[in-house]
Amino acid sequence: MITGNNSKAKGIACLEENLGDKPEAVITVRGKESFVVMKIEHYHYIREMELEAALYQVQQDVAAGRYSKENVDQHVAELFAECGTP
C-alpha cells in the first residue's frame, strides 16, 4: 500500500517502486483505502474484460428476446410509460 503522504513526497517514483511486478497498488489517505493505481497494460486488460462482459450480456439478452426494434423516440416513450412518467 502507498500512503497519500508518501506519494506526495516521492511522486511517480513512489508509484513505480510500489507497483514493482504487481499490476496494481492501493493508495491510502489517512489510513483509509482511497485510490488504486495500475500499470496501463492492466488497465487495458480490465477494460477489455468489461467490454467482453457487456458483449456477453447483450448476446444473452438477444437470445432471450430482451430487446426492441423500435426507434429511439418510441422506445423512450415506452420507458416513460412503464415508469408512469408523462
pLDDT digits (tens, 9 = 90+) for 4-51: 787 778 888 888 888 989 999 999 999 999 999 999 999 999 999 999
Cα torsion at 71, 74, 79, 85 (round to 10°)? 150
pLDDT for the residue numbered 28: 92
CA distance 83 to 76: 11
My answer on whether 30 and 15 are in the same domain is yes
pLDDT band, residue 2 (cuts 50/70/90)? confident
Query: Structural domain tally of the chain?
Result: 2
Closest CA to 9 of 26, 27, 31: 27
Provide the 10 A C-beta neighbour count for residue 55. Answer: 10
Q: Indicate whether 6 and 27 sit together in one domain.
A: yes
Model pLDDT, residue 75? 87
3-state secondary structure of 38: strand
CA atoms within 13 A on the CB side of 42: 10
Residues 71, 54, single domain; the answer is: yes
* Same domain as 72, residue 47: yes
Q: Which residues pair with 26 in a beta bridge?
A: 36
User: What amino acid occupies position 42?
Assistant: H
pTM score > 0.85 for this model?
A: no
Categorize the per-residue pLDDT at 86 as very low, low, confident or very high, splitting at 50, 70 and 90. Answer: low
Per-residue pLDDT for 85 more than 80? Answer: no
> Are 48 and 78 contained in the same domain?
yes
Determine the structural domain holding residue 46 and report its residue range: 42-83
Residue 24 has a pLDDT of 94
